[in-house]
Amino acid sequence: MVSGVHGSVRDLFEFTDADKAIARIKDIYTTGAESVREAFTRFGNGHQSSPVRAYYPYLGIEVPPEKLHVESTLSYGAPRDPGIYGTTLTRPDLFEQYYREQIELLLKNHDVPVVVGVSDRPIPLPFLVETATDNIGPTDIRQLQMIFDMPDLARTDDDIANGVHYGITEGPKPLSLFSGERVDYSLARLRHYTATLPEHFQKFVLFTNYQRYVDEFIEFAKLQLEDPQSPYVAFVEPGPKVHVRKNAPKGWVESGEPVAQLPQMPSYHLIREDGLGVTLVNIGVGPSNAKTATDHIAVLRPHCWLMLGHCAGLRRSQLLGDYVLAHGYVRDDHVLDSDLPLWIPVPPIAEVQVALANSVAKITGLKGREMKARMRTGTVATTDNRNWELRYSELFVRLNQSRAIAVDMESATIAANGFRFRVPYGTLLCVSDKPVHGELKLPGMANNFYRQRIGQHLQVGLDTIDTLRNEVNQLHSRKLRSLDEPAFR
């Protein structure tokens, strides 16, 4: 047992084997969680209880100067400076593979043991009990708060991810972008907003702002489940309702029912056993939902997220149905201004840009000058004003100076939060109208446009993911890492 340098953490043990460290993490979490759940059941049955508390597991490492072997090519997996590092962890059942990968990198890159113990951060009751009991009414809430821990929002923030924690935090330096409590907060929100479970989310995420993309995705998923050779084993829609592929591996069963009313951000998951499937989230229109979705999905540490949606074209040479590949953003969405100031650039991710461009060429069959004519690469202006056209005379200079080629309401938000949370990102939009030039869709014209383009657009996104799935190690760019970067991806 070790002690001292990791602050108030107790029962610390050293490990040089990732599997044994994971087993200890599981034991701490499971033992505490079960004791709280049992006490909550007794409380619901009218049996008073003394205060019951569970604590998040703690993972730490001490890196002396002589063990600081930092390769120039590493984007994660190693602290940048010698010192004491630590973080609280949660839901080892959900994050076991991710935790194992991060621990193995620490052991490999520094050749010193990691330590696992019991932190001083209690696990709040709402993050341990997924369903309430009818026996608990409003008058019981005060008594409930005297027995069980509730979320402490004063200590649950994004200071580490935002890069403003330097010199502020006490004790060990952060090992991860998110504390256990911050992760649990987002897991609870995901259940609420998407009507699916965190374990359903895949490592590649598509965001869209139109229901028609969802309809196409559902049709694609049905075809995959009919194909016995498909790499996808299940499809999950809001409910959650789980559909299983014919001849699916043992353990996969149909379950659940679809929701009667869709949630705010319905999510659909085409699942692979290795977690490298595709999740599609319909965020609707506007930057607020785009921020909410990415704030919470970020804790699941996806390998990439892409925005596929519609935009207004700003160039007369563009035609309805043309593609826009964003390589820069005018951030007029404003929802992230306090987290990621406007003076911070949001760079394109080379691997994502190349994969998107290659997939457009592959799926459309376009080449050479024809390809350059039908897909423009440039700046997308993201606004928080759905009726920006009514202020066009005011915005003209801004759009003109920025060289923007399209306007939408979500792309910059998703890219900026990708940069902020170190999640590789990309944007491929489809020009659906050109209000600046008086080119608006007539009703019949719109239906024809949607039929022709949305299926193709979705196929481009899916093909891009097929490419990126084989390039995961190259995907996590060093340009997303800071000077004082936590070691966890």
Looking at the fold, whether 360 and 378 belong to one and the same domain comes out as yes
DSSP-assigned letters across all residues of 391-452: GHHHHHHHHHHHTEEEEESSHHHHHHHHHHHT--EEEEEEEEEBGGGTB---HHHHHHHHHH
Model pLDDT, residue 444? 58
Say if CB 224 and CB 245 are below 8 A apart: yes
Question: What is the phi-psi region of residue 179: left when phi exceeds 0, alpha when psi lies from -120 to 50, beta otherwise?
Answer: beta
Question: Tokens 């920025």 belong to which residue?
Answer: 402
Based on its alpha-carbon atoms, the radius of gyration of the chain, rounded to whole angstroms, reads 24
Model pLDDT, residue 474? 87
Say if CB 281 and CB 194 are below 8 A apart: yes
Say if CB 410 and CB 287 are below 8 A apart: yes
The packing angle between helices 180-194 and 287-297, to 10°, is 130
Model pLDDT, residue 439? 60
Q: What is the mean pLDDT of the chain?
A: 92
Model pLDDT, residue 441? 62
Looking at the fold, whether 24 and 128 belong to one and the same domain comes out as yes
| Angle at the Cα of 359 from the Cα atoms of 357 and 365, rounded to 5 degrees | 100
Tell me what the mean pLDDT of segment 272-295 comes to: 97
Say if CB 275 and CB 200 are below 8 A apart: no
Model pLDDT, residue 362? 97
If one counts the domains in the chain, the total is 2
Among 121, 155, 190, where does a domain finish?
A: 190
Assess if residue 486 is contained within a domain: no
Among 157, 190, 223, where does a domain finish?
A: 190
- CATH classification at residue 340: 3.40.50.1580
Position 134 pLDDT exceeds 60: no
Size of the chain, expressed as the number of residues it contains: 489
Position 132 pLDDT exceeds 70: no
Assess if residue 488 is contained within a domain: no
Position 227 pLDDT exceeds 70: yes
Looking at the fold, whether 266 and 412 belong to one and the same domain comes out as yes
Biggest alpha carbon–alpha carbon distance for the chain: 76
Which of 279, 223, 273 has the alpha carbon at shortest distance from 248?
A: 273
Assess if residue 484 is contained within a domain: no
β-bridge pairing 267-271 and 234-237:
antiparallel
Tell me what the mean pLDDT of segment 170-184 comes to: 94
Residues 119 and 155: their CA atoms lie apart, in Å, by 14
Dihedral sign computed on CA atoms, order 391, 392, 398, 402: positive
Residues 247 and 157: their CA atoms lie apart, in Å, by 44
Looking at the fold, whether 210 and 352 belong to one and the same domain comes out as yes
Model pLDDT, residue 473? 83
Looking at the fold, whether 251 and 286 belong to one and the same domain comes out as yes
For residue 242, name the pLDDT band (cuts at 50, 70, 90). very high
Question: What is the phi-psi region of residue 334: left when phi exceeds 0, alpha when psi lies from -120 to 50, beta otherwise?
Answer: left
Assess if residue 1 is contained within a domain: no
Question: Tokens 């499971």 belong to which residue?
Answer: 30
Model pLDDT, residue 358? 97
Question: In a 3-state reduction of DSSP, which class is residue 16?
Answer: coil
Tell me what the mean pLDDT of segment 71-94 comes to: 92
Tell me what the mean pLDDT of segment 304-316 comes to: 96
Position 48 pLDDT exceeds 80: no
Assess if residue 483 is contained within a domain: no
Position 483 pLDDT exceeds 80: yes
Least confident residue range of 225-234, 332-341, 444-453 = 444-453
Least confident residue range of 147-156, 224-233, 345-354 = 147-156
Say if CB 279 and CB 179 are below 8 A apart: no
Looking at the fold, whether 172 and 203 belong to one and the same domain comes out as no
- CATH classification at residue 23: 3.30.1730.10
Assess if residue 286 is contained within a domain: yes
Joined tokens for residue 366 = 């376009």
| Angle at the Cα of 228 from the Cα atoms of 223 and 232, rounded to 5 degrees | 65
Question: In a 3-state reduction of DSSP, which class is residue 43?
Answer: helix
Looking at the fold, whether 49 and 126 belong to one and the same domain comes out as yes
Q: How far is CA 114 from CA 8, 9, 253, 299, in A?
A: 17, 14, 38, 22
Joined tokens for residue 200 = 């359903």
Assess if residue 485 is contained within a domain: no
- In which domain, by residue range, is 296 found? 196-475
Looking at the fold, whether 70 and 208 belong to one and the same domain comes out as no
- Tens digit of each residue's pLDDT (9 = 90 or more) over 189-200: 999 999 999 999
Model pLDDT, residue 50? 83
Among 135, 155, 190, where does a domain finish?
A: 190
Question: What is the phi-psi region of residue 483: left when phi exceeds 0, alpha when psi lies from -120 to 50, beta otherwise?
Answer: alpha
For residue 131, name the pLDDT band (cuts at 50, 70, 90). low
Model pLDDT, residue 348? 96
Q: What is residue 249's DSSP assignment?
A: P
- Tens digit of each residue's pLDDT (9 = 90 or more) over 359-387: 999 999 999 999 999 999 999 999 999 88
Tell me what the mean pLDDT of segment 183-187 comes to: 97
Say if CB 176 and CB 114 are below 8 A apart: no
- Tens digit of each residue's pLDDT (9 = 90 or more) over 408-467: 999 999 999 999 999 999 999 999 988 776 666 666 555 666 667 899 999 999 999 999
Looking at the fold, whether 156 and 221 belong to one and the same domain comes out as no
Looking at the fold, whether 248 and 299 belong to one and the same domain comes out as yes
Looking at the fold, whether 215 and 141 belong to one and the same domain comes out as no
Q: What percent of the chain has pLDDT over 90?
A: 76
Assess if residue 52 is contained within a domain: yes
Looking at the fold, whether 186 and 208 belong to one and the same domain comes out as no
